[in-house]
Amino acid sequence: MFGRSAGSRVDVAPYFKAIGLLFRNPSVMLAPLLAALAGVLVSVVFSAGYTGGPLDFATGSLAAYPEFVRSIEADSGLVTTYGGPRLKTPTAAPEYLLVPQQGTNRIVLDGEVVATDTYLPLVLLRLSRPARAEWSIVGTSDEGFLDSGVSATASVYSAALTGLSRPCATFTLITPPDYPGGWPYSVSSDGRELSHGLLRALQTVPVVVPLSPRGTARGPSASVSVKVRGQAALAGIVVSAKLAFFGVEQCPTPRG
Q: Specify the pTM.
A: 0.76
Cβ atoms of residues 172 and 206 within 8 Å: yes
CA gyration radius for the chain?
A: 19
Residue 43's closest CA among 98, 105, 104, 101?
98
Average of per-residue pLDDT across 35-52: 44
Cβ atoms of residues 132 and 79 within 8 Å: yes
Predicted confidence at residue 54, as pLDDT, reads 52
Average of per-residue pLDDT across 72-84: 86
Q: Average pLDDT over the chain, rounded to whole?
A: 79
219-225-231 Cα angle (round to 5):
155
Each residue's pLDDT tens digit, 190-230: 889 999 999 999 999 999 999 999 988 888 999 999 999 99
Please report which confidence band the pLDDT of residue 16 belongs to, taking 50, 70 and 90 as the band edges.
low
First-to-last C-alpha distance (Å) of the chain: 30
Report the percentage of the chain scoring pLDDT > 70.
73
Cβ atoms of residues 138 and 204 within 8 Å: no
pLDDT above 90 for 47 = no
Window from 14-28, 123-137, 201-215, 242-256 with minimum mean pLDDT: 14-28
Predicted confidence at residue 227, as pLDDT, reads 98
CA dihedral 61, 69, 106, 161 (to 10 degrees): -150
Domain range summary for the chain, segments of one domain joined by +: 13-250
